[in-house]
Amino acid sequence: MAYRLAWAFALPAALIRIWWRGGREPGYRRHVAERLGRYGPMQDGRVVWLHAVSVGEARAAFPLIDALRAALPDHVFRLTCTTPAGRDTLAERYGDVARISYLPYDTPSLVHRFLDHAHPEIGIIMETEIWPTLVTACKARDIPLVLANARMSRASARAYARAASLTGPAIAALDAVCAQSRADARRLRCLGAEGVVVAGNLKFDVLPDRAQREAGRALRARLAGRQVLLAASTREGEEAMLLDALSGAGQALVVIVPRHRQRFDEVARLIAATGRRLARRSRGDDPAVPGVQVYLGDTLGEMAFHYGLADVALIGGSFRPLGGQNLIEACAAGVPVVTGPHMFNFADATRQAVRAGAAIQAASTEEAVVRAQALLADPEARKIMGEAGAVFAARHRGATARHVEACLRLLRARV
């Protein structure tokens, strides 16, 4: 009851916040009715529904969606998200074969509108999106729910435990939990989850786009031996930290790819303010032109291109306490990885990558830059780390098959 009352007061503020964010990212002001459970005609067919909050979760879901579409050719797919970037990511890949929309806010009336409209046979929620009202409503309708690619950090587990009267029943109501690691599985069980299996991390099954990677390598060949240091998926405040640490960095081309597109122009202004000569990918600028010092990757969906271009990758989100971003993609592309200290959202994958010799975790931004520059100066060390990364990524593939089996088992039981 307290949770419902809290949402009754929070909903107007949430809508105001969406409109305010739309001033910076116009996508937030589109399809607002969907966030209130208004979707138009009811969806027909036998529906598999998957929810991915934003870009990272959406990309991780790609191999699972592809495998389920192959296993369930008589089903239709409903994909939901929370952010415009997540919606764009899903639409770019599945816009012609799936219905894509926002998930509504977690109030009873809005959740029931969505379920009445989509009437899914099964729901799959990526990673940590456990909404109590949504889970309860699915349980009441006998819609099996899978928590896929599930992760639970120590900090998140403590937060969930403090709200156990609210989160405990929701976690216990999940029909299956496919955890990324044994540590995630243990924490989820302690929070009340049942049907927990260690299925592995779906992100290992996301293969780099071959054409993009080859395009990146072709550009690197045009740089006449100049080395490339990539700052991948950087978050707010990190670009300034990295550029400060890179002052006097020599002749390496620095490639910066911000995580969020609404920051592209802001980061361009920041780079220009340092006096460095900038080339922008969105404008078609050529970074091989003499004198270009920084190449801004201000496009979406081209990380495979940037990893094909890179000699060493610094992983964003890890230089401030933001949890880090996906280092698996860099490892799969055979690029040596250096992270900052804050990789708690990818703690297990980071530990394993470091242990495999594919990554280095530094204690500070300054140390990360020093380690990355040392790698740029050591081709043999780069070769060893890159090969170790490719082996590490290949060894951990296979999560998709385990996730598909969990979903099919629930569908068979429901029938």
How far apart (Å, rounded) are the C-alpha atoms in residues 56 and 387? 25
- SS3 per residue for the chain: CHHHHHHHHHHHHHHHHHHHHCCCCHHHHCCHHHHHCCCCCCCCCEEEEEECCCHHHHHHHHHHHHHHHHHCCCEEEEEEECCHHHHHHHHHHHCCCEEEEECCCCCHHHHHHHHHHHCEEEEEEECCCCCHHHHHHHHHCCCCEEEEEECCCHHHHHHHHHCHHHHHHHHHCCCEEEECCHHHHHHHHHCCCCCEEECCCHHHHCCCCHHHHHHHHHHHHCCCCCCEEEEEEECCCHHHHHHHHCCCCCCCEEEEEECCHHHHHHHHHHHHHCCCCEEEHHHCCCCCCCCCCEEECCCCCCHHHHHHHCCEEEECCCCCCCCCCCCHHHHHCCCCEEECCCCHHHHHHHHHHHHCCCEEECCCHHHHHHHHHHHHCCHHHHHHHHHHHHHHHHHCCCHHHHHHHHHHHHHHHHC
Closest CA to 302 of 81, 59, 62, 51: 59
- Interatomic CA distance for residues 166 and 2, integer angstroms: 9
- CA-wise closest residue to 198 among 399, 411, 2: 399
Which is the catalytic residue, given 34, 57, 121, 302? 57
Q: How far apart are CA 389 and CA 290, in angstroms?
A: 32
Categorise residue 237: left if φ over 0, alpha if ψ from -120 to 50, beta otherwise.
Answer: left
Contact call for residues 129 and 86 (beta carbons, < 8 A): no
Cα dihedral sign, 26-31-37-43 = negative
Q: Does residue 367 have an active-site annotation?
A: no
Active site residues: 57
